[in-house]
Every structure is written in structure tokens, then in C-alpha cells.
């Protein structure tokens, strides 16, 4: 190809002004692919009041306030923006609620976003579509490829295979249809890869490409502090970073914290993130008399999370449903000991690559207490986990490596697409000549 490769990225998760960390992993990948190829991003924005808003319908004042805030946030997202030098378009669409309908969202979204895609295609000669998640963006990509006539690479991050396929038979069929018709599928972990194959993906067209956990604008030494000994006189700091959802396991950390404090350990716990579980976790903190030991920070920009990694002594997130979980490798890159769950994709892969993570049983306060005690009582163990974790991340989980491997997939897919196109044209010419004889 005489010119630079041009890629159309379609992802419903991408940073925007209201939520600058939403889909940050997609933005990081696109940014690191820019030395290899040009990218245009289309991020469909769903316009439908979320379920959390309707929960307040019996309280008119609260419902009205929540409605106004949702509407204000929506208006604050521009139709087009530039994020870290990347041109991003945010076309609107609407669809029924997530519950029972998420698998179908792509078909609802496509009529709304088709015009934007057509206009961009007239302005740019796209060579390939990279869609993130089978629904809605994989479906949108398949429908657009009918007239764009270009190949599709699909990234699966977990939700399609642990949520969408279990909604109903139609959603399961749609996800499998996407798997069957794209040119390549990228899984972010072995767990995700296995689920893709379980739900109809082709092993020959599916491969694991790990995401990155390194901060590219600073060094690990800037972001880590020496791991203190247990007798240095100050409380040790536990940290969780992630959206506040039940499956992330924050409640189990709070229960474990109460037991450990009662056993004489000096600990504090910082929770970074926001979500529907905030009020419940706040109540639980009060019920367990942990108010003096727990700090809720809320959501923060991605470039600010590194200071929290630096300040912690142990990163703990016992999430039991996780396609990967970038925060684990970000903590490791900052040379921190990490605790994850045996059933989560990322922690499983990390444990296979080295002794770099403590794994606990899902939804088990006892298992979490035991893992924390092992680390709290053994500073040498904490240092060993931290050192090994950093080595694993620098070898397997950098954004530079992710970009190289993703671009290699682009090239391979395009070569295959070109070969099939050449074969088709040759066969068409042959049949045409035969018809004229």
C-alpha cells in the first residue's frame, strides 16, 4: 500500500468531556497505533434515561434533579471533538433498556449513525474497521461493511461473553453472528478467548492480544514508593480502583477490613471510582464503623490515578467477573503487590505468567482476609510480588506491544481480504469469458 493505512474505529466506549476515563483503554490503544496508521473514531452515544434514574420516579424532586443532570451531561458531549489528537465523532441513537435488549442495540443504532458513517467514508478512504464489543459496535460494523466493502477486526473485552450472550436466545444468536462474520477477533485474556470459542468463535480467527498497563508519560519510579515494613509506625494503605458495581467486590474488602482492624492491624482503605453501588457501600462503611478508615474519592481522570497507586501499599480488587481488568497491571507497573480473584480473566492470566498476584476465592471474605494477612505479615512477600509483577507487565502488557501486535493483525487481515478480492475478480473474469465463448 502506497499510503498510510486508514482505520475506522467504532466503539461505544471512548473518553468524552463528561466522563474522561470512559473507555480509556480504547483511547490508549488508538493513540499508540497512530505511528503505524491513521485512525478516525466513531463513538455512538445512546440517548435513553438510565435505569438508575427511573429508580427515583416515586420521589419527584430527586427524579427531576437526576433527569436534569442526565440531560445536562448529554448536552455537554459534543457531536465532534478531538481527544489527544484523535478526531472523535459522537452520533446519537436511542434504543430500549439494556435489560433484555443490549444484544439488539446495534440494529437500533445503525439507522441513526449510518449518515455519519457515510459522510466520513466520503471524506476518508478507510481500509479497515476496528470495532470494540460485538454489541452494539460489531453489528454496526457488519452493516456498514456491506457498502464499505472493507474487512473488520473485532475486540472483545468481556461483557459480550459474560452478559450479553446470557440475556436471551436472540442476543446470543446476534453475538455469534458477529463472531462468524468478522475477519478477526481479538481477546484480552485467555478467559475471554475461551468464552469466545464457547459461544461460536472460530479459533483460527481468534487470538489473544493483551492490553497495556504502563503509563507512557512518566516512569514507574515516578509513580511508586518504597513498600514500607509492617513496623514503620503508620497504617498500611489498601487501594481499589474501578467502577462501583457489586461484582467488583468492594463490600468484601470492607468486611475484611473490619476483621483485620479488630485483629490489631493498622489499615486505611481508599476507593477510587463511582457507580450505582456508592450509596450501599457508604451505608456498609457506617454499619461496620469504618468511617475513620475508609475514603471514597469518586471518579478521577486517568492521569490522576497514578498518584493513588503510588500512595498505596496493597492494591486489592476481588472482582469475580472481569474480562481482564487493566487496573491490576497498572498497579503492577507501579510496583505494588496485587490481590485479584480466581474467576477473573486478567488475574488468571497474570498468575500463569509468574508469581505476581495473590488470588482469592470469589465472594469470600475469609479468603480475602487470609490473603491480606499473608501480605501484611510478610514485607518480603509484598516486595517479591511487586518486583515480579513489574517484570511481567514490562514483558507482556505494554501499550507499545499492544499496538505492534494489533497492527500485525490489521496487516494480516488486509492481506487476506486483498487475496480473496483478487481471487473473486479472477473467477468473475473467467466466468465472463466462458459466457462469451
Q: 434 lies in a domain? A: no
27 and 112 belong to one structural domain:
yes
| Residue 399, SS3 per DSSP | helix
- Under DSSP, the state recorded for 166 is G
Choose among 211, 177, 174, 173: nearest CA to 192. 211
> Does 432 have pLDDT greater than 60?
no
387 and 403 belong to one structural domain:
no
Are 79 and 124 in contact by the 8 Å Cβ rule? The answer is: no
β-sheet bridge partners, residue 92: 45
| Position with higher pLDDT, 319 vs 65 | 319
Choose among 35, 51, 44: nearest CA to 133. 44
The pLDDT tens digits for 264-310 are 999 999 999 998 899 999 999 999 999 999 999 998 888 899 999 99
> Does 386 have pLDDT greater than 90?
yes
Band (pLDDT 50/70/90 cuts) for residue 434 is low
| Residue 218, SS3 per DSSP | coil
The pLDDT tens digits for 168-187 are 999 999 999 999 999 999 99
> What local confidence, expressed as pLDDT, does residue 217 receive?
61
Q: 432 lies in a domain? A: no
Q: Which three cell numbers stand for residue 207?
A: 487470538
β-sheet bridge partners, residue 171: none
**Residue written as cell 429508580?**
55
- Work out whether the CA dihedral 219, 208, 321, 244 comes out positive or negative: positive
Percent of the chain with pLDDT over 90: 77
Could you give the angle at which helices 278-287 and 250-262 cross, rounded to 10 degrees? 10
119 and 201 belong to one structural domain:
yes
Q: 436 lies in a domain? A: no
> What local confidence, expressed as pLDDT, does residue 372 receive?
98
Q: Which three cell numbers stand for residue 71?
A: 440531560
419 and 383 belong to one structural domain:
no
> What local confidence, expressed as pLDDT, does residue 226 receive?
45
Q: Which residues contact 22 (CB under 8 A, 6 or more apart)?
A: 13, 14, 15, 16
49 and 97 belong to one structural domain:
yes
> What local confidence, expressed as pLDDT, does residue 422 receive?
59
Band (pLDDT 50/70/90 cuts) for residue 121 is very high
Q: 1 lies in a domain? A: no
44 and 185 belong to one structural domain:
yes
Structural domain that includes position 413: 6-212+398-426
Mean pLDDT (the chain, rounded) = 91
Burial level of 169, CB count in 10 A (0-12/13-18/19+)? exposed
The pLDDT tens digits for 203-258 are 999 999 999 999 866 555 554 444 444 445 689 999 999 999 999 999 999 999 99
Residue 253 sits in a domain whose CATH number is 3.40.50.2000
Sheet holding 338-341, edge to edge: 294-298, 267-272, 236-241, 314-316, 338-341, 358-360
> What local confidence, expressed as pLDDT, does residue 53 receive?
77
The pLDDT tens digits for 6-60 are 999 999 999 998 888 899 999 999 999 999 999 999 999 999 877 777 777 788 8
261 and 336 belong to one structural domain:
yes
Choose among 227, 412, 240, 418: nearest CA to 335. 227
The pLDDT tens digits for 310-339 are 999 999 999 999 889 999 999 999 999 999
* Helix count and strand count (H, E) for the chain: 17, 16
> What local confidence, expressed as pLDDT, does residue 247 receive?
94
166 and 276 belong to one structural domain:
no
307 and 409 belong to one structural domain:
no
288 and 387 belong to one structural domain:
yes
Q: 380 lies in a domain? A: yes
> What local confidence, expressed as pLDDT, does residue 336 receive?
97
Residue 351: how many other CB atoms lie within 10 Å = 16
> What local confidence, expressed as pLDDT, does residue 232 receive?
58
Q: Which three cell numbers stand for residue 103?
A: 444484544
177 and 131 belong to one structural domain:
yes
- Work out whether the CA dihedral 416, 421, 424, 430 comes out positive or negative: negative
Q: 385 lies in a domain? A: yes
88 and 30 belong to one structural domain:
yes
Q: 435 lies in a domain? A: no
Q: 317 lies in a domain? A: yes
Band (pLDDT 50/70/90 cuts) for residue 429 is low
Structural domain total, the chain: 2
- Of 1-15, 180-194, 377-391, 422-436, minimum mean pLDDT range: 422-436
β-sheet bridge partners, residue 358: 339
Residue 259: how many other CB atoms lie within 10 Å = 16
> Does 72 have pLDDT greater than 60?
yes
DSSP letter string over 288-330?
Answer: TT-TTTEEEEE---GGGHHHHHHH-SEEE---SS-S--HHHHH
> What local confidence, expressed as pLDDT, does residue 233 receive?
65
| Residue 338, SS3 per DSSP | strand
Amino acid at each position: 500500500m502506497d499510503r498510510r493505512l486508514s482505520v475506522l474505529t467504532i466503539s461505544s466506549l471512548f473518553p468524552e468531556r463528561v466522563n474522561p476515563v470512559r473507555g480509556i483503554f480504547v483511547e490508549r490503544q488508538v493513540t499508540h497505533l497512530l505511528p503505524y496508521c491513521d485512525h478516525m473514531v466513531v463513538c455512538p452515544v445512546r440517548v435513553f434515561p438510565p435505569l438508575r434514574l427511573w429508580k427515583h420516579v416515586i420521589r419527584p424532586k430527586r427524579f427531576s434533579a437526576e433527569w436534569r443532570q442526565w440531560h445536562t451531561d448529554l448536552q455537554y458531549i459534543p457531536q465532534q471533538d478531538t481527544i489527544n489528537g484523535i478526531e472523535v465523532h459522537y452520533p446519537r441513537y436511542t434504543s430500549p433498556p439494556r435489560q433484555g435488549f443490549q444484544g439488539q442495540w446495534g440494529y437500533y443504532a445503525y439507522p441513526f449513525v449510518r449518515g455519519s458513517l457515510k459522510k466520513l467514508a466520503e471524506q476518508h478512504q478507510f481500509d479497515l474497521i476496528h470495532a470494540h464489543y460485538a454489541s452494539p459496535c460489531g453489528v454496526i460494523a457488519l452493516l456498514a461493511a456491506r457498502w464499505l466493502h472493507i474487512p473488520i477486526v473485532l475486540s472483545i473485552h468481556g461483557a459480550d461473553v459474560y452478559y450479553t450472550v446470557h440475556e436471551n436466545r436472540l442476543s446470543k444468536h446476534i453475538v455469534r453472528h458477529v463472531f462468524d462474520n468478522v475477519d478477526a477477533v481479538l481477546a484480552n485474556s485467555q478467559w475471554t478467548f475461551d468464552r469466545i470459542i464457547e459461544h461460536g468463535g472460530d479459533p483460527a480467527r481468534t487470538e489473544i492480544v493483551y492490553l497495556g498497563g504502563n503509563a507512557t508519560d512518566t516512569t514507574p519510579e515516578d509513580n511508586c514508593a518504597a513498600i514500607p515494613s509492617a513496623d514503620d509506625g503508620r497504617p498500611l494503605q489498601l487501594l481499589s480502583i474501578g467502577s462501583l458495581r457489586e461484582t467488583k467486590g468492594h463490600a468484601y474488602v470492607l468486611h475484611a477490613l473490619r476483621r483485620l482492624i479488630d485483629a490489631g492491624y493498622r489499615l486505611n482503605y481508599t476507593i477510587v471510582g463511582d457507580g450505582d453501588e456508592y450509596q450501599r457501600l457508604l451505608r456498609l462503611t457506617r454499619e461496620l464503623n469504618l468511617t475513620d478508615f475508609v475514603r471514597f474519592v469518586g471518579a478521577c481522570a486517568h492521569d490522576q490515578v497514578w498518584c493513588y497507586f503510588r500512595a498505596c501499599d496493597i492494591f486489592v480488587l476481588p472482582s469475580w467477573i472481569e474480562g481482564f481488568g487493566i487496573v491490576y497491571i497498572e498497579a503492577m507497573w507501579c510496583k505494588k503487590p496485587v490481590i485479584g480473584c480466581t474467576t477473573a480473566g486478567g488475574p488468571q492470566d497474570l498468575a500463569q505468567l509468574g508469581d505476581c498476584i495473590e488470588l482469592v476465592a470469589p465472594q469470600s471474605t475469609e479468603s480475602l482476609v487470609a490473603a491480606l494477612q499473608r501480605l501484611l505479615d510478610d514485607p518480603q512477600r509484598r516486595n517479591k510480588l511487586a518486583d515480579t509483577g513489574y517484570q511481567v507487565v514490562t514483558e507482556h502488557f505494554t501499550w507499545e506491544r499492544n499496538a505492534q501486535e494489533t497492527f500485525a493483525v490489521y496487516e494480516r487481515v488486509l492481506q487476506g481480504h486483498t487475496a480473496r478480492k483478487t481471487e473473486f475478480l479472477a473467477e468473475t473474469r473467467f466466468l465472463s469469458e466462458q459466457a462469451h465463448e
